Chains A and B, each alone.
Chain A
Amino acid sequence: MSANGGNANGFVGQSLRRKEDPKPITGQGRYVDDLTMTGMLWMAFVRSQEAHANIVSIDTSAAVGLPGVHAVYTNEDMGDLAAPLPMAWIPPGVEVRTPEHWPLTPMRIWEAIHESDGGTS
């Protein structure tokens, strides 16, 4: 680096082409969805068929019984993950309110919130 604004490398002021671009512009990029690994399983999310509803219960037995299905998870199976996703780092002195984002729908919590709302309204 030069203190007098020298341009020893000839790069200053030049528009440089990115080294990583040839792969994505030719379709040779490798994204997570492009990876195939030995023994890899596929996952499908089940979305609610109701726009606004309380979950009373989830019966996974039929799904578990399907051929090729290795596992079915609900929020109850999430263990330590069954909590709002934390914010990695909050700048000191800054009050940040992070909305709750659950890995999977927390039916019990949802129920509790519903009951609480009902009790205070």
Chain B
Amino acid sequence: MADSVHVSVTVGGERHHADVEARQLLVYFLRETLGLTGTHVGCDTSNCGACTVHLNGEAVKSCTVLAVQADGSEVTTIEGMANSGTLHPLQEAFWAKHGLQCGYCTPGMIMASADLLARNSDPSEQEVREALAGNLCRCTGYHNIVKAVLEAAKQGATV
């Protein structure tokens, strides 16, 4: 590869080194280079939020971040949310409150919600809806998703 760039990215606590095309997007670095297919591509245009991951603790749409921009950074994906078999409170809440049907948007929903709860541990319903304005769901509808996030907040999901 003529334009390959060496990057080092820590994903889910594990350090990865790779030579990537300079133009490669973070989402494709995660999905294709590392094989972490839990992060989805829904629109490729930063509309849908299915690709949301945490970059140095902040939610980003990984289809709008270059892999080279993540060099030296820490990334958390949906695969890193459960702690050795124990579901994250948001994952529990999405399951319990029927916050998903096909599940395609769910990883992005959970990552965006985790970012919200890290900033605001007791959000109102309106604040949850605003925080998820950049995440689109095409089957469940947002009602149960909002209920799930509020439930997770109640359970103390601030991480």
Residues facing A in B10-43 (CB within 8 A) are: 31, 36-41
- Within residues 2 to 56 of chain A, which ones have a CB less than 8 A from any CB in chain B? 17-18, 21-31, 33-34
A31 touches B81 (CB 8 A): no
Which residues of B87-112 have CB atoms within 8 Å of chain A's CB atoms? 87, 91, 94-96, 98, 100, 102-104, 106-107, 110
- On chain A, the number of residues with a Cβ less than 8 Å from chain B's Cβ atoms is 15
**CB-based contact A23/B96 at 8 Å:** no
| Interface presence of B78 (CB below 8 A) | yes
Which residue of B37, B77, B91, B95 contacts A18 across the interface (Cβ within 8 Å)?
Answer: B95
Which chain B positions have C-beta within 8 A of A23? 103
* A12 to B17 Cα, complex, angstroms: 53
Other-chain residue from B82, B96, B98, B102 in contact with A26 (beta carbon distance below 8 A): B82
B79 interface residue (CB < 8 Å to A): yes
Q: List 21 A-B contacts (CB under 8 A).
A: A17-B96, A18-B95, A21-B94, A21-B95, A21-B100, A22-B95, A24-B100, A25-B78, A25-B91, A25-B94, A25-B103, A25-B110, A26-B38, A26-B81, A27-B39, A27-B78, A27-B81, A28-B38, A31-B40, A33-B37, A34-B37
